[in-house]
Chain A
Amino acid sequence: MLTNEIVKQKLVEKFAEQVTNFGEPYGMLTFEAPKEMNLKVLNFLYDDERLKFRFLTDICAVHYPDQKGRELAVVYHLHNMQDNIRVRFKVFTDIEKPDVYTATGLFSAANWMERETYDFYGVKFTGHPNMKRILNVEEMNYFPLRKEYPLEDQARIDKDDEMFGRE
């Protein structure tokens, strides 16, 4: 039976100090690696006889405007179908140079997911066969889910906060 402890142990055995920030929010093993390492880690998780994380559930990004030099996180969700265990893997990148290696060589499903991540956060996946917008119009010249575009105009007065569960 594969557990989070075994996964963590195998990762540390293989990558030593390269893998950091281990945590288990809501029971799901989460860790981080340098962005240059992302394919090495994904390949190891895929190929290892014990780990077999061979299903890519999702790729997405998160924007942390306050973390200088590591503003964008690219998050990979992987699933081991045989042991039914999941893992969350993050790499961080500078927003000025948001280049991350593509995972399309390993997972065909990464193609559209990476295009979506590029569309909304502007992460450029190096080596992607078709790196262009997927959901928004191609003429769009910004990345709408970055934090400089607030979810809602904070100056609005026509909404009663009480109705939305906010104080």
Chain B
Amino acid sequence: MEVKPGIQEVDPFPGTVHQTPGGGILLGKMDQVINWARSNSLWPLVFGTSCCAIEMMSAASAKYDWSRFGFEVARATPRQADVIIIAGTIVNKMAPVLKRLYDQMADPKYVVAMGACATSGGPFFYNTYSVVKGADHVIPVDVYIAGCPPRPEALIHALITLQEKIKSGMTREQIRMSAPAIQPDGQKRE
């Protein structure tokens, strides 16, 4: 699946099989195997703040069935979840709650901003007294989905995009830790 120009197709399975008498040995890079495993068991957090959550429920149920791609274990606690799908409007009062949920999730963790509200405030962008204009003001977002609300296909596409992203590289923490990197204050890491 071509997600974005520049990100090339990753192998569906990491490594190669070396035939030996009586079976075979699988050789692969550990990072790739870990990324493959992570991307195929993304557990979403049960988190929906408005009508996008209805589409998310639809994507989870029989007709669209996101468990085909490894998202079936929706968790009701952030401590067991890998990905938070921000399905709906984030208001000022919800922002600290969202931040706390994100902080409670264990690394590696991923964020999908579903729909116009979570992306930019959407229909509440103008003349609002209560809406956060984009969930990325509160927590970092990996994948954005357009739509109001997006169809379940769009959500599944976004989750597959997230899988591709995980398979194709390092986590945010790994990128940050890979020296030499420029620190926010302009100094180089040891």
Contact = CB atoms under 8 A, between A and B. Distances in A.
Interface of A: 135-137, 140, 144, 149-153, 156
B61 interface: no
B49 interface: no
Given A137-B92, A156-B126, 13 more contacts: A136-B129, A136-B130, A137-B93, A137-B130, A144-B129, A144-B130, A149-B129, A150-B127, A151-B127, A152-B126, A152-B127, A153-B126, A153-B127
A38 B42 CA distance: 57
Nearest to A138: B93
How many chain B residues sit at the interface, stated as a range, is under 10
B52 to A, nearest CB: 20
10 smallest CB-CB distances across A and B, nearest first, come from A144-B129, A137-B92, A137-B93, A152-B127, A153-B127, A136-B130, A153-B126, A136-B93, A151-B127, A156-B126
B57 to A, nearest CB: 25
A151 to B, nearest CB: 7
Contacts of B129: 136, 140, 144, 149
A151 B126 CA distance: 10
Nearest to B96: A137
19 contacts: A135-B93, A136-B92, A136-B93, A136-B129, A136-B130, A137-B92, A137-B93, A137-B130, A140-B129, A144-B129, A144-B130, A149-B129, A150-B127, A151-B127, A152-B126, A152-B127, A153-B126, A153-B127, A156-B126
A152 to B, nearest CB: 5
Contacts of B126: 152-153, 156
Contacts of A140: 129
B40 to A, nearest CB: 40
Nearest to B128: A144
A153 B128 CA distance: 10
A152 B92 CA distance: 20
Contacts of B93: 135-137
Contacts of A151: 127
A153 B129 CA distance: 13
Interface in B124-163: 126-127, 129-130
Interface string B103-133: 0000000000000000000000011011000
Contacts of B92: 136-137
